[in-house]
Homo-oligomer: A and B are copies of this chain.
Amino acid sequence: MQRTEVTAIIVAAKLKKCLKWADIAKKIGLSKEWTTAALMGQMTLDKKQATTIGKLLGLPPEAVDALQIVPYKGSLPSAIPTDPLIYRFYELINVYGTSIKALIHEEFGDGIMSAIDFSMDIQRETDPKGDRVKIVLNGKFLPYKTY
């Protein structure tokens, strides 16, 4: 069973059972961000987590198996995303990318922000002029090794 099929089954089951991503995340004791990414086919569950999710959503055994295999990552159908919500993030990198690079290097020197030792938090920020989306990206700084 392909991981994309597992994702489709999960999305349909979640809809039918009127569950929120945060509800599912709570069952395995992890954040809604990581859990959503895992169920969207980007992260790997351990046996216990997969079984719990499998029961909650009524997944077939092969789907439970598939959730425990490390997936070929990348969730977008094209190099430059066409979906407006996702494109805005691509645009931010295009507009702000060299600035982020300049500021991180000024503060930390040569290296990168890890996308692996990384966490993300998405919150609603209420605002009288219109509520806002607040996303916190938090990644370990990894300096380039000299040798």
Q: Is A13 an interface residue when CB atoms closer than 8 A count as contact?
A: no
Contact between chains at B86 and A97 (CB < 8 Å): yes
Count class of interface residues, chain A: 35 or more
Contact between chains at A84 and B122 (CB < 8 Å): no
Per-position binary interface string of chain A over residues 63-77, scored 1 when its CB falls under 8 Å from any chain B CB and 0 otherwise: 001000110111111
Contact between chains at B110 and A70 (CB < 8 Å): yes
- Name, among A20, A76, A94, the residue most crowded by chain B CB atoms within 10 Å (CB to CB): A94
Whose C-beta in chain B lies nearest to the C-beta of A130?
B140
Contact between chains at B141 and A96 (CB < 8 Å): no
A120-147 contacts to B (CB < 8 Å):
120, 122, 124-125, 127, 129-147
Chain B residues, Cβ within 8 Å of A95: 37, 42, 73-75, 84, 115
A54-93 contacts to B (CB < 8 Å):
65, 69-70, 72-93
Task: Give residues in A with beta carbon < 8 Å to B.
Answer: 2, 8, 11, 15, 20-21, 30-34, 36-37, 40, 42-44, 65, 69-70, 72-120, 122, 124-125, 127, 129-147
Q: 9 tightest CB-CB pairs across the interface, nearest first? A: A74-B82, A36-B99, A113-B133, A119-B147, A44-B110, A88-B115, A75-B98, A70-B105, A135-B137
